[in-house]
Amino acid sequence: MRSDAVVRGVSPRVHLAAGLQVMSTALVRLGMAGACVLVLVGCGATVPKPTPTPTGSFEPSPGTISLAEKGYEQGPSALIPIPDDAAITQYVDQPNVITASFSQPDGAEIAHVLRADLPGAGWEITADTPEAILFTRPGWDGAFTISENVSAVTVRAAPQ
């Protein structure tokens, strides 16, 4: 039996070689198109912004320490005042965000310390209610909230 390629006057070897060349050309074109897509996507990719470095220090009020004195190492932890008897039950300590949840003292006492000492640590209080305080400084945003049994403070790198 003769193959279809032989019937048309083309030997199977020539037919196979032509098919491989067409496939090879298609693969090269596909590879080039993929490379172009990667270049275009790469041009639109965002470069990660560095986490702002906290600067400054402050002298906490008597009976007050900083989160850094409780073992925090990241972010502006040295600039977040808390009562020295604060019990931290949950925490996050990352370069771009720090969080402390407190079981004691009650949230009102922690809020009192924050209201008194944040401005001296270079923070601006931008909102203040009995249940929450919002504060900011260059490169950082913070919030303190109070619920019935727990309170928490979170400070994160500000969006740039």
pLDDT in tens, 18-75: 444 544 443 334 344 443 333 333 334 333 333 444 445 677 789 999 999 999 999 9
Whether 101 has a pLDDT exceeding 60, the answer reads yes
Helix (H, G, I), strand (E, B) or coil at 28: helix
pLDDT at 86 over 80: yes
Could you give the CA distance from residue 54 to residue 91 in angstroms, rounded to a whole number?
A: 19
What percent of the chain clears pLDDT 90, i.e. is strictly above it? 59
Q: Which residues contact 48 (CB under 8 A, 6 or more apart)?
A: none
Binning pLDDT at 50, 70 and 90, where does residue 4 land? very low
Q: What is the pLDDT of residue 108?
A: 96
Alpha-carbon span 85 to 111, nearest angstrom = 14
The pLDDT of residue 9: 53
Name the pTM for this structure. 0.65
